[in-house]
Amino acid sequence: MGLRFRKSIKIAPGLKINLNKNSISATVGTKGAHYTVNSKGKRTASVGIPGTGISYTQTTGVKSKGSKKADTSTNSYTYSQPNNTEPNNNDKKWYQKTGWIIAWLILFFPVGLFLMWKYSDWKKAIKVIVTALFACFTIAAITSPTLEDVSLSADTSKTYDIKQDIPIKATVSPSDYELSDTDFNISGGELKISDGKITFSATKGGAYEVWVEHDDIKSNTLKFKIEDKKAIAKKKAEEAKKKAEEEAKRKAEEEAKRKAEEEARIAAEQEAKRKAEEEARLKAEQEAKRKAEQNTPPANQTHTQAPQQSSQSGGTVYWVSGGSVYHSTPNCATLKRSSNIRSGSITESGKSKPCKVCH
């Protein structure tokens, strides 16, 4: 198993340079008809009808073990001429060899054209085609305008959504200069150029830059801000939902706290009211008991009730004008300090209570 290498470089429409492990070759022509010359002197001409499988191929410059053959399994025909060989390529000087001629055509085509016409054994038609192609390139390079200035313009003030096409306008001087796709540079995303329209888009959010650079001419840099608006809206909705849930939870906790405080306040008021009522009841009971004790005569005075009744009905009692009770005798211990002792009936005294000492 060997290593194979093959690379084709398109130089111009109808002209390709083929690089492989052992040689270098050039192909001129289109899909239906082309001519290939490699650095070893092998020349292959092929003519066919595209899409039918029918083709004619002629190879010269190398020995071939092939012979005439027709493959009836496919609609194709191949013919080789093994006797039509060229002199050994090794007898030529290095600049006369096909590979070097092709290399000079690529690197510096005036020298390549001279060597091709002077030393190559290519058919005249091939030489004419190659010369005409390079002449066209030379004329185009001479007559094409040179880029003097380029600027880009777009709306960079707003934020764009992903996959949204952003129009870009390129202004060049001179105005007839045409920028190539390779002149545009981007830091990411995708730039589309079609029918003179330039659009930029990106599949991921972020900051992107677009500018033009041709040789030593560089344009201004456009900076675009791209974001995934759908993802951002979803995230905002989730954050709003979470915030609403947290707010509802906070309000519920505050309401529960307020309700608990209100219930505690009501309970405290009821407890205070109960205590006040209890204290008032006890105080009323004590006051009633005290009044009852004041209105009820002592037990040791029960035996004097009959004389008191008789006194009330007409007996003599003693009192002082500033006193609150009447006395049964002027010698009562409570009257010793009084100098103005009066006597008379209970009715006349105006006192309703007897003295507890002398009665």
Q: How far apart are CA 305 and CA 297, in angstroms?
A: 9
Residues 6+ apart with CB under 8 A from 180: none
Q: How far apart are CA 246 and CA 321, in angstroms?
A: 84
Q: How far apart are CA 231 and CA 225, in angstroms?
A: 15
Residue type at position 45: A
Report the percentage of the chain scoring pLDDT > 70.
73
Torsion 117-121-122-124 (CA) sign: positive
Residue 207 pLDDT exceeds 70: yes
CA 330 from centre of chain = 113
Q: What does the pLDDT read at residue 258?
A: 93
Q: How far apart are CA 198 and CA 153, in angstroms?
A: 11
Q: What does the pLDDT read at residue 291?
A: 79
Unique residue bearing structure tokens 């505690």: 264
Q: How far apart are CA 266 and CA 243, in angstroms?
A: 34
Q: What does the pLDDT read at residue 180?
A: 83
Strands 222-227 and 159-161: parallel
Q: What does the pLDDT read at residue 66?
A: 44
Q: Which CATH superfamily is domain 149-227 in?
A: Immunoglobulins (2.60.40.10)
Q: At 91, list the tokens.
A: 């007898």
**What is the reported pTM?**
0.38
Torsion 248-250-253-257 (CA) sign: negative
Residue 182 pLDDT exceeds 50: yes
Q: How far apart are CA 32 and CA 55, in angstroms?
A: 9
Provide mean pLDDT across the span 273-282: 90
Average pLDDT score over the chain: 77
Domain boundaries, the chain: 6-143, 149-227, 237-292, 312-354
**pLDDT one-digit tens code per residue, 224-239:** 999 999 999 999 999 9
**pLDDT one-digit tens code per residue, 74-115:** 333 443 344 444 445 556 777 778 778 777 777 777 787 788
Q: What does the pLDDT read at residue 298?
A: 56
Q: 121 or 263: whose pLDDT is higher? A: 263
For 5, half-sphere exposure in the C-beta direction (CA atoms, 13 angstrom radius) is: 7
Residue 72 pLDDT exceeds 60: no
DSSP assignment string, 172-213: EESTT----GGGEEESSSEEEEETTEEEEE-SS-EEEEEEEE
Residue 313 pLDDT exceeds 60: no
Which helix H or strand E contains 236, and what residues bound it? helix 229-295
Count of Cβ atoms closer than 10 Å to residue 2 Cβ: 4
DSSP assignment string, 93-148: -GGGSHHHHHHHHHH-HHHHHHHHHHH----HHHHHHHHHHHHHHHHHHHHSPPP-
**pLDDT one-digit tens code per residue, 322-338:** 788 888 888 887 777 77
- Output 265-270 pairs: Cβ under 8 A, ≥24 positions apart: none
Angle, CA of 335, 308 and 291, to the nearest 5°: 75
Residue 186 pLDDT exceeds 60: yes
Cis peptide before 13 (omega within 30 of 0): no
**pLDDT one-digit tens code per residue, 10-47:** 666 666 777 665 667 777 766 656 777 776 777 787 76
Strands 353-354 and 325-326: parallel
- Output 217-220 pairs: Cβ under 8 A, ≥24 positions apart: 217/147, 217/148, 217/149, 217/150, 219/150, 219/151, 219/152, 219/170, 220/151, 220/152
Question: Is the CB of residue 73 less than 8 Å from the CB of residue 80?
Answer: no
pLDDT band at 314 (very low <50, low <70, confident <90, very high): low
Q: What does the pLDDT read at residue 239?
A: 93
